[in-house]
Amino acid sequence: METIEEKIQDIPPDLKEQGLDFIEFLLGKRKNRRNKIPKLEWIGGLKEFKEKYTALELQKKALEWRTEPSDVMR
């Protein structure tokens, strides 16, 4: 089985450049994923329903809200 380095030796120069671009893209994707800090803006968003529903009821209600057509979409 050939190593990556051995396979690279067989690639023409123009394809080596494309390969390098792709490698840089892959490395950039990983770097961006690591640096992302999740935004937790949704925390406390359902606080007003705390006394009205149990956690399970709220879960079911949230599913209903997501699946029923909203007035905005009509």
Question: pLDDT tens digits for 43-60?
Answer: 888 788 888 889 899 889
CA distances from 68 to 4, 47, 54 (A): 52, 21, 21
Give the Cβ contact number of residue 46 at 10 Å. Answer: 13
pTM: 0.38
**Furthest CA-CA distance within the chain:** 68
Q: How many Å apart are CA 36 and CA 61, to the nearest integer?
A: 30
Kindly state the average pLDDT of the residues 27-41: 75
69 has pLDDT over 90: no
